[in-house]
């Protein structure tokens, strides 16, 4: 069975590494990007089962990236991660299936991500 593949775009290195390591522990291949433009470039050159985007990033924010991804793939699960708990409704309107509020604590956030991958939502 081919492992699931996730694209995770986050400008904060510590958050990027945390999610990447946790997903890899769950048998998920995780490619990372540190800004919105890099995320779009990676997305255009590979097939992903899910995209995880930080809301605020250099060059292009997650909401901008999500809108561009939705034009190409309207059904791929996109999860947003943000420290702005008031932006969840806005992010959903931009095409995010789920929004996780920072700080990421323990395994709860990772389990939400893994459940999306297992259920094939």
Residue range 19-31, pLDDT digits in tens: 899 899 888 999 9
**Cβ contacts of residue 79 below 8 Å, gap of 6+?**
50, 51, 52, 53, 96, 97, 98, 99, 100, 112, 113, 116
Q: Report pLDDT for 120.
A: 55
Residues 70, 44: Cα–Cα separation, whole Å: 12
Tell me the domains of the chain and their CATH numbers: 5-119 (3.40.50.2300)
**Cβ contacts of residue 54 below 8 Å, gap of 6+?**
9, 10, 11, 12, 15, 62, 80, 81, 82
Residue range 50-95, pLDDT digits in tens: 999 999 999 999 999 999 999 999 999 999 999 998 999 999 999 9
Q: Report pLDDT for 117.
A: 76
- Interval 99-108 mean pLDDT: 78
Residues 68, 46: Cα–Cα separation, whole Å: 15
Q: DSSP secondary-structure letter at 103?
A: S
Under the banding of pLDDT at 50, 70 and 90, the label for residue 106 is low
Q: Report pLDDT for 121.
A: 43
7: buried, middle or exposed (CB in 10 Å: 19+, 13-18, 0-12)?
A: buried
Q: Which of 95-99, 109-113, 116-120 has the lowest mean pLDDT?
A: 116-120
């Amino acid at each position: 069975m081919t492992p699931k593949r996730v694209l995770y775009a986050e400008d904060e290195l510590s958050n990027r590494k945390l999610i990447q390591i946790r997903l890899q522990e769950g048998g998920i291949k995780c490619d990372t990007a540190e800004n919105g433009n890099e995320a779009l470039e990676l997305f255009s050159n590979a097939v992903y089962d899910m995209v995880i985007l930080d809301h605020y990033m250099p060059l292009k924010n997650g909401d901008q990236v999500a809108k561009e991804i939705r034009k190409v793939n309207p059904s791929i699960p996109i999860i947003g991660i943000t420290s702005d708990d008031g932006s969840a409704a806005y992010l959903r309107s931009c095409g995010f299936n789920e929004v996780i509020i920072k700080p990421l604590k323990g395994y709860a956030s990772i389990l939400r991500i893994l459940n999306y991958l297992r259920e094939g939502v």
